[in-house]
Each structure stands twice: as C-alpha cells, then as structure tokens.
Chains A and B, each alone.
Chain A
Amino acid sequence: MVELVLILIIILLAGAVVALISLTRKLKISINDMYVSRALLQYSADQEDIILKADVNGSIISVHDNVALIGMYTARELIGKNIEVLNSRLDDGSSEVMWNILKDKHETYSFTVSGKYSANTSFFFTLTIVPVMDASGGIFGYLGLHTKESHATKPVTSTKESDERARSRAHAEAILASIADGVLVTDQHGDITMLNQAGREVLGISESIGKSVIEVLPLEDDKETLLLPDKHPVYQATKGPKSVTTKNYIYVRADFTKLWLAITTAPIVFEGNVEGVVAVLRDATIEKQIDRSKTEFVSLASHQLRTPLTAINWYTELLLDHGVESLSEDQKSFVNQIRESSGRMNELVSSLLNVSRLELGTFSVDPVPTDIGAIVQSVLAELQPNIAQKQHVLTTEIDESLDNVPVDANLMRIVVQNLLSNAVKYTREKGEVTVKLYRHYPEMRFEVTDNGYGIPQNQHDKIFTKLFRADNVVEENLEGNGLGLYIVRSILEQTGGDVWFESEQNVGTTFYVSLPLTGMQKKEGTKTLI
C-alpha cells in the first residue's frame, strides 16, 4: 500500500516537473529561479498558450508576438498597463475579487475578453490569470493564458459566470428576435441554426432549423437564374473568404411571389475557424422599384432633352454658315462656344441613356462576327483631332486576325471609345498612348496605356462607380461626367467580359479589357421605353 502511494507521488511529481520545464521554456526563465504555484501546475503547458506576462504588481511586461489585440489594446499599448484593464467587469467589484483570488488564495482567475491574433479575425476567448510563486512562496509575477474552452479549469467565479452567460445568451436572443431585419444563422455546413421572427416573415416560412440554407433560401440573380450552391451567398460564406458582403438577390416564396432581398453575409469566426455564417435579410423590393422608376425617369428626361439640343446644334451650325461675313470674330467664337457646350451636353445625355438602358436591362446584345481592329482604328480616327491637338505619341499594336469575333459592334465601340478618349483626355500634352489588341487564349485582350495623370491609389476601388471622378482630374478642371467607366464595366459584366486596370498617380494608367474569343453572350432586349 505504501509502495503504491509512493509510486503515485512519483508519477505526480514527474508530471509536474515535465509541465514545469515546458512552461519555464516558454517563460524563458530558469527553473532554479522559481517555483510554480499549485494553480499553474493545473495547466498542461503543451495545451495552453501563454499570451502575456506581468510583474508582481500586475503590470504587463510582455505580450506574445502573435497577439495583435486584446480587448481594445494593441500588444504594444498593453506593455506597462495593469492586467486589470483587460477585465471588463471591474465596475461590479470584480477587480477586488480578482486580486483576492490571485494574491491571497494563489488561485487562477478567468474572464472573457475579445482578441485578435496576427492575420486573423477577432474572436472571444477566456483569459486565465495565473499567479507565479518564487522559492519563498511569494508571488513574483503573473501569466495570462489563452484557455481553450474544452479543458478550461473550473473557473473561480464559475457560478457567477455561468449565470451571466445564460443571461447574456438570453439577452442576445431577445435582441435578435426584436430586430426588424431578418437574421439567419447557419453552422459551418450551411445548415440553419437560427432564423428570427422577421426572417421567417420575410421569407414566408415557419420551420427552417436544421435544414440547409440552399433549400430554405432559394435565390435567383438579376437575370432570374436560380443560384446553384457554388454561387449561393450564404452557403459560399461558409467556405470563406472571411469577408462581409452585401448584394441583392431575387427570392421566390413558396407561393411563387418574388421579392428582392438585400443579403449581408458574414462568417462567424471563432479561434480562426469559420464556425458558421450570419446573414441579414432585408426586403429591398421597394428600393428596387424606386430605383427602376428613377432610371426610367432619367431615360425619358434624357430623351426629351435631345430635341432642344438638336435645335441648338443645328441652328448654331446655320448661324456660322450664314454669318461667315456678317458675324464678327468675337461673335463667331461665342457661337462656337455654344456649339461646343451643347455638344458636351449631348454626350452627357447619350451617356445617361446608355446607363439607364444598362440598368433597366432594355438593351440587346446581338453578337455578329466583327472586325475588332477596325472598330479600334475607326475610334482612333475619330479621336485624331484631339490626339493631334495634344501632340500625343500614339502607338498601336493590333492583331488584325481578330476580324471575326462575335461581338455586338455598338457595345464594343462604346467600350473602346470610352477607354481611348479617357487616355487621350487624361494625359498631359505630348503624352504617350499605347493601344494593343491581342489574343490571350482563351480570350482577346484590348489594352490602353497612357503616361497621364493616373488614378490616386486611395480611389482605385471607386473608379468604376457611377458618377465618380478622381480628385486629381477634378482639380485639373478636366471635363467628364463620371459615367464612362461605369458604362464600360456594366457592358462587360453583362456580356461575359471583364475590365481592370493598373495605375499610379502621375505615372500613368493601363486599362485591360478581356472578352472570350467565343465572343459576347447574346441577350434579347426587353424594350419598354422610347
């Protein structure tokens, strides 16, 4: 019996020594310099992460390299601060309780904090503070451990904390139930774990828990094509990337009524892993209707503007023809100014009409075998006066064998025209403009490079936005309506192509357009407007 007890003691001591050696390695302190408290030995050094160390007063002396944030503090800001600052429950007297447990009882104290590891998403974790003893039994410092829930030691404030957790969970559920927007939560497989009342109402369903989100939330894109799992926003969010996105989709209710849903998805990341997805569902049908009415109005108004604009253009032309002798030089320049301005206004009206057609989907895509090089050459010929006026050096490298690509010639021309006129316009005099058309199997590429003003780095993500104009070209007082690139992208998005760019301010810009060599996708127009 005595032998058995001795063996047990030896085993326990051996275990303690192994744990101690492992921990002291992490602490980079000599084992001879310290004893470790009983509490510390409760932890297996292999399983717990030491994320901070503090001195005898609780003042933090180091934070693990991988930690980016704990609570509201960066790793650097934490140095010199007392570990108390991390405990958000100080106001209810926990600070006193904490120090009582650590200093007097020499036991551990745990609380929940938010944190962030380098290159990782924020998450909540339990931080356990462990007192470290010296040889004489006095405390000489503290360790902060990131405790994994599966084997966290019994928290010192266990009863209080579990009560609080239950209360906090009930509180969170009450908040979710009260939100006017639908909130849907799935696990990492895309199976629904929660759908609040507003969500059930908007979707017109009662039972959903445990079912796949693909089954419960069938979605269509704006072309009314049912989204397969690989395009389903909520299902896809379970696979990453770990970003928050919002987009509009068509949802078909069980009674076949359709509504527009604005769906914001965000992965639920815990300890670096996607544990599920939270999606906010908002009925955007009315917004879509308003948007459509607005676009229809713009289309109608733009069209009506064309009649007076034509009269201004034609009569200024007649005035110049008939007034060759009677008009003074000043008067002629005034008339030319009117003509130039009405020309600009006409361009704006045409752009607005193109935008409204693209947004309303009323335009048709009619691909027929087309000589792309000829389109490029014809646009360059049109721009020749501007190129000559600015004394740009133009270089073209055109693969003439691209003379039979099935594209809609009008749409292709709009794309080419916008990119080329931008390059000419947004480059200072005596600039260089290079135009390339080539095969990049299985695509054709159209590339326009200039050494002009460039796009400011902080505005790269806005450049295709409707009506957006970069600060530097606005400052230079260069004309433009902020619609060209929006139109280019809309056309390419709707015809199976793509557009992107590389740009550096005051160095230049290259725009790239790609289209499959098989051409644009055909689309029937649904003309509803004049």
Chain B
Amino acid sequence: MKKVLIVEDDSPMARALTLKLGDAGLDSVSAGNGHEALEVLEKETVDLILLDILMPKMNGLKFLEELAKRDITIPVIVTSNLSHEDDIKEAKRLGAVEYFVKADVSLNKIVEKAQEILGV
C-alpha cells in the first residue's frame, strides 16, 4: 500500500486528508511541521508528500529546501491557503509538482492528483 506523508499544522485539515486518502485506499502518516516531517522521513518510507506552507518551526518552503539538500526526490503536492503568485512560483521552483489553494479545491481533487502521481 502506497503511503502519503501529510505535513500540516492544522489538525482538522490533517484529519480530513487522512480520512479521504484512507477512503481511496492510501495509507498516511502525519507531521505538524517541516521539522517533524524530516524526522518521519528518517524512519519511514513514503511515496508522496502533501505539504502545507505556513507552519511553525519549519515552514513548507524551508522543508522543500531541506529535501533538496538531502537529495530526497519524493514528489510533493503543496496544499496551502497562500494564493500569491510569488508563493506558487517559489514552491514550484523548489520542486513541488503541484500547488493547490486549499480553500479552492475539494479533497477529491487532491486525492485524484495523488493517485495520478502514484499511478494507482
């Protein structure tokens, strides 16, 4: 079973993503910020990362930089409520494969994209 790492500081959102991924037959693990996510990656193997940007301790953009430093090439879908073009461009420059503005997108759409990337 493919596993998705959800990096999200807002627990209701993390829970909703976990539930929807579960409905689609995907396993998931959660981290509350970039720092925690890096710790998870040291212990577990994941196939995809759903990443928020505004988070305490280590934000999503910083986390993307850290992934690049460690040569980690797991695909990342950004799910953030920042909709400024500059944020979208910066996230994509740092390697994000997709950027969703959470308020504008359904859970279904996010999971469909995840399945597409994972090829399931």
Is the Cβ of A310 less than 8 Å from the Cβ of B102?
yes
Is the Cβ of A317 less than 8 Å from the Cβ of B108?
yes
Interchain Cβ contacts within 8 Å, total number: 60
**Which of B11-19, B41-49, B63-71 lies at the binding interface?**
B11-19
Name B106's contact: one of A307, A317, A525 (CB within 8 Å). Answer: A317
Is the Cβ of A313 less than 8 Å from the Cβ of B103?
yes
**Which of B26-34, B76-84, B91-99, B112-120 lies at the binding interface?**
B76-84
**Which of A119-127, A150-158, A346-354, A430-438 lies at the binding interface?**
A346-354
Q: Is A522 close to B, CB under 8 A?
A: no
Q: Is B54 close to A, CB under 8 A?
A: yes
Q: Is A306 close to B, CB under 8 A?
A: yes
Residues of A within 8 A of B13 (CB): 307, 310-311, 314
Residues of B within 8 A of A364 (CB): 85-86
- Bound CA span A363–B89, Å: 13
The chain B residue sitting closest to A305, CB to CB, is B103
Min Cβ gap A483→B in Å is 16
Interface string of B1-26 (1 = CB under 8 A from A): 00000000010110011011001000
Is the Cβ of B83 less than 8 Å from the Cβ of A353?
yes
Size class of A's contact patch?
Answer: 20 to 34
Residues of A within 8 A of B108 (CB): 317
Is the Cβ of B106 less than 8 Å from the Cβ of A311?
no
Is the Cβ of A350 less than 8 Å from the Cβ of B86?
no
Is the Cβ of A527 less than 8 Å from the Cβ of B107?
no
Residues of B within 8 A of A314 (CB): 13, 16-17, 20, 106-107
Name B82's contact: one of A321, A362, A530 (CB within 8 Å). Answer: A530
- Bound CA span A317–B81, Å: 18
Residues of A within 8 A of B39 (CB): none
- Bound CA span A530–B55, Å: 13
Is the Cβ of B20 less than 8 Å from the Cβ of A318?
yes
Is the Cβ of B12 less than 8 Å from the Cβ of A363?
no
Name B103's contact: one of A310, A317, A357, A527 (CB within 8 Å). Answer: A310
- Bound CA span A310–B14, Å: 12
Is the Cβ of B23 less than 8 Å from the Cβ of A306?
no
- Bound CA span A321–B108, Å: 10
- Bound CA span A311–B17, Å: 10
Is the Cβ of B81 less than 8 Å from the Cβ of A525?
no
Min Cβ gap B115→A in Å is 16
Is the Cβ of A350 less than 8 Å from the Cβ of B104?
yes
Min Cβ gap B92→A in Å is 13
Q: Is A232 close to B, CB under 8 A?
A: no
Most buried by A among B19, B82, B83: B83
- Bound CA span A428–B85, Å: 36
Is the Cβ of B85 less than 8 Å from the Cβ of A303?
no
Is the Cβ of A307 less than 8 Å from the Cβ of B81?
yes
Interface string of A214-242 (1 = CB under 8 A from B): 00000000000000000000000000000
Q: Is A366 close to B, CB under 8 A?
A: yes
- Bound CA span A357–B87, Å: 14
Name A303's contact: one of B16, B81, B106, B107 (CB within 8 Å). Answer: B81
List A residues at the B interface (Cβ < 8 Å). 303, 306-307, 309-311, 313-315, 317-318, 321, 346, 349-350, 353, 357, 362-364, 366, 410, 525, 527, 530
Instruction: Given contacts A310-B81, A310-B103, A362-B84, list 19 more A-B pairs with CB under 8 A.
Output: A307-B10, A307-B81, A309-B103, A311-B12, A311-B13, A314-B13, A314-B16, A314-B106, A317-B108, A318-B20, A318-B107, A346-B104, A357-B84, A363-B84, A364-B85, A410-B85, A525-B84, A527-B86, A530-B54
Report 11 cross-chain contacts, Cβ distance below 8 Å, ordered by A residue.
A307-B81, A309-B103, A310-B102, A314-B13, A318-B16, A321-B20, A346-B104, A364-B85, A364-B86, A366-B85, A525-B85
